[in-house]
Amino acid sequence: MKRSLKIITFFLLIALVGIQFIPTKRNQSNEVLTSDFMQVYQVPKKIEKMLKTSCYDCHSNNTDYPWYNKIQPISYFLEQHISEGKEELNFNEFGLYSKRRRRNKLRAITSQIKKGMMPLETYTIIHNEAKLSEKEKIVIEEWIDNILIK
């Protein structure tokens, strides 16, 4: 029993070291597109800072990666999460959405923030600065509501 446990542990260690050499695609681009949410709506600096801090890592083409993103399998899970986030909403490509889709996404952003579903709790555990205060949530919601009225 002891011997088989040592063998299993050895192979798990070899596998863990081995997967460190499997690269993942990184979500980084320094290009600011004219279709970016900030360009489309001329977002006030205060709201821009909140959105970039709380949303852009998972919902844009440029993630500010933490130190632990180079460790597998964490890197794989991060990339999968970012890919899913961008599929749902990509702030860098917001201007490419149809007007109807933009309005729906704006409503969804407001709804997700109101319900406390975004930013994700799993994200804010490590990125405490991404948590939105009640006041910040109201500021974002009111600003988006003003866009939707137009």
Average pLDDT over residues 135-146: 94
Residue 13 CA, distance from chain mean position: 31
Position 18 scores a pLDDT of 64
Average model confidence (pLDDT) across the chain: 84
In the predicted structure, residue 13 carries a pLDDT above the cut 90: no
- The pLDDT > 70 percentage for the chain reads 82
Give the residue among 110, 116, 112, 109 at the shortest CA–CA distance from 133: 116
pLDDT at residue 90, rounded to an integer: 93
Whole-number pLDDT of residue 76: 78
pLDDT-derived band at 127 (thresholds 50, 70, 90) equals confident
How many degrees, rounded to 5, is the angle at CA 32 between CA 29 and CA 33?
110
pLDDT at position 34 = 82
Q: How far is CA 68 from CA 49, 75, 129, in A?
A: 24, 8, 17
